[in-house]
Chain A
Amino acid sequence: MPQNKEFFNRRLHSLLGVIPVGVFLIQHFIINHFAVYGASSFNAAAHFMESLPFRYALEVFVIFLPLLYHAIYGLYIAFLGRSNTRQYGYFRNVMFLLQRISGVFLVIFIAWHVWETRIAAAFGADVNYDMMADILSSPFMLVFYIAGVLAATFHFANGLWSFAVSWGLTVTPRSQKIMTYVSIGVFLVLSFIGIRAIIAFLDPALANM
Chain B
Amino acid sequence: MSEHKTVRFIITRQDTPDASPYTEEFNIPHRENMNVISALMEIRRNPVTADGKESAPVVWDMNCLEEVCGACSMIINGKPQQSCTALIDQLEQPIRLEPMKTFPVVRDLVVDRSRMFDSLKKVKAWIPIDGTYDLGPGPRMAENKRQWAYELSKCMTCGVCLEACPNVNDKSDFIGPAPVSQVRLFNAHPTGEMNREERLNALMGEGGLQNCGNSQNCVESCPKGIPLTTSIAALNRDMTLQSFKNFFGSDNL
Contact = CB atoms under 8 A, between A and B. Distances in A.
B215 A171 contact: no
A110 B20 CA distance: 43
A90 B227 CA distance: 16
Given A4-B205, A6-B206, A165-B236, A93 B216 contact: yes
A194 to B, nearest CB: 25
Contact of A168 (B217, B220, B239): B239
Interface string A66-83: 000000000001011111
Interface in A76-98: 77, 79-84, 87-88, 90, 92-93, 95-97
A95 B233 CA distance: 17
Given A82-B171, A171-B233, A166 B166 contact: no
In the complex, which of the residues A5, A10, A90, A166 has the most CB atoms of chain B within 10 Å of its own CB atom? A166
A92 B214 contact: yes
B78 interface: yes
Contacts of B216: 90, 92-93
- State the majority secondary structure of interface residues on B: helix
Given A81-B172, A96-B215, A168-B233, 7 more contacts: A4-B243, A7-B210, A80-B167, A84-B164, A96-B213, A165-B233, A171-B233
Contact of A88 (B201, B211, B217, B234): B217
B46 interface: no
Contacts, number: 110
A176 B166 contact: no
Given A90-B220, A170-B233, A173-B227, A82 B206 contact: no
A93 B215 contact: yes
12 contacts: A1-B246, A6-B206, A11-B240, A77-B213, A81-B166, A81-B213, A84-B166, A87-B79, A96-B214, A166-B210, A171-B233, A173-B230
A167 interface: yes
A171 B227 CA distance: 11
